[in-house]
Amino acid sequence: MLALDIRGVNKKYQAFQLKDVSFQLEKGYIMGFIGANGAGKTTTIKSILNMVHIDSGEVRIMGKNMAEHEIDLKQEIGCAFGGIDFYTRSKVKTLTDVIKKFYTKWDDTTYRHYLRRFKLDENKKIAELSTGMKVKYGLALALSHGAKLLILDEPTSGLDPVARDDLLDVFQELVSDGEVSILFSTHITSDLEKCADFITFIENGQIVNSAEKNEFVESYRLLHGNESQLRQVKERLISYKVNSFGFTGLIHSTDYVPSSDIKATTPSLEEIMIYFAKKEGANV
């Protein structure tokens, strides 16, 4: 079953547009949504949550159309926007008391469990929580109202490595029973190498690729060679960098013809992002 099914979403602004955004997330998996700053991650997430009005396309969550069943579906979605705080001078307890009234499946026992699990103090004010604790509080709220899909925009941004690692462990634990699915956007690709099952890559408002993680990285090759070799493959490269030793360039695996002279390696997610960004930059 698909937890999230986005098809042909278009949204045009004056200086930016989402173009035919489509990708699917299977229930019980973690999908990392990567892209550079301004690539369209947050706009896509807001389109999924019906916070912005899409020009065309369809968003289906748990098989239901989001535009038609927004209120029902929001009972089953937990979302968090990294770096945006709400009512920071209120205590955790006060905010929870307000929020829980909106959810029909709110479970206090589950909430208490996650407060203990995440070591959250209910009497602290939101402003007193660390960035990592705020994300965990958001997760505790989402899981207490029985959210089956977590949509998290940059949840790991601003966290130190220890807090990030801890949070990624929590993500993996949450999907382990196959009921909860997570879509989280990030530009910190090392997070995804650790815990994502699927990767969706957006660049300049368009989905470049959406696939299972290994399949995703295997669909590209990073070539290293000298200047004369660059001339042989230049036209087929997504983009390349020239240095004193020769060149390094990214190519689609399907465009790569193995040759003994050019060294090919599997790129990291970060390298894929960087070379695609370089391509966009070259086109401007």
Partner 1 sequence: MYNLVKKDLKLGVSPIFLVMPLLTGALMLIPAWIYVLVPLYFCWITVPNMFAGFKAQNDLLFTTMMPVTKRDMVKARVSVVVLLELLHIGIAMIFGIFTFLLYPDMIYYFFAPTLGFWGVCLAMFGIFNLVFIPMYYKTAYNYGKATFASIAAAMLFAGIAQWVGISNSNVADVFTGSRMDDMALQASILVAGIAIFAAFTAIAYRVGFNRFQKVEAQ
Backbone angles phi and psi of 6, in degrees to 5: -115, 125
Rank residues 33 and 247 by Cβ distance to partner 1 and give the closer one: 33
Buried b (16+ CB within 10 A) or exposed e, 61-76: bbeeebeebeeebbbb
Residues 271 and 284: their CA atoms lie apart, in Å, by: 20
Alpha-carbon gap, residue 250 to 273, rounded angstroms = 10
Compute the least distance from the CB of residue 228 to partner 1, in Å: 52
Q: Can you tell me the distance from the alpha carbon of 225 to that of 242, in angstroms, rounded to the nearest whole number?
A: 10
For the CB of residue 21, give the shortest distance to partner 1 in the complex, in Å: 16
- Of residues 13 and 245, the one with the C-beta less far from partner 1: 13
Considering the rule CB under 8 A, would residue 97 count as an interface residue with partner 1?
yes
Beta-carbon contacts of residue 235 (< 8 Å; ≥ 6 apart): none
Please tell me whether residue 51 binds partner 1 under the rule CB under 8 A.
yes
Question: Contact at 8 Å (CB) between 9 and 46?
Answer: no
Distance of CA 21 to the CA centre of its chain: 14
Contact segment (CB under 8 A) with partner 1 among 56-64, 77-85, 227-235, 260-268 equals 77-85
Among 103, 106, 118, 256, binds partner 1 (CB under 8 A): 103
86 binds partner 1 (CB under 8 A): yes
Return d(Cα 184, Cα 154) in angstroms, integer. 7
Of 63, 33, 36, 68, nearest to 50 by C-alpha is 68
Q: From the CB of 181, what's the least distance to partner 1, in Å?
A: 18
Kindly tell me the sign of the dihedral angle through the C-alpha atoms of 52, 53, 54, 58: positive
- Indicate which single residue of 90, 110, 190, 206 sits in contact with partner 1 (rule: CB under 8 A): 90
Using the rule CB under 8 A, give the single segment among 46-54, 195-203, 244-252, 259-267 that binds partner 1.
Answer: 46-54
Residue 56 found at the interface with partner 1 (CB under 8 A): no
- Positive or negative torsion for Cα 194, 30, 105, 49: positive
Candidates 63, 67, 85, 234; binder of partner 1 (CB under 8 A) is 85
If one asks whether residue 147 binds partner 1 (CB under 8 A), the answer comes out as no
Q: Which positions from 254 through 283 interact with partner 1, judged by CB under 8 A?
A: none
Least separation, in Å, of the C-beta of 22 and partner 1? Answer: 21
Binding site for partner 1 (CB under 8 A): 46, 49, 51-53, 70-72, 74-75, 79, 81, 84-88, 90, 94-95, 97-99, 101-103
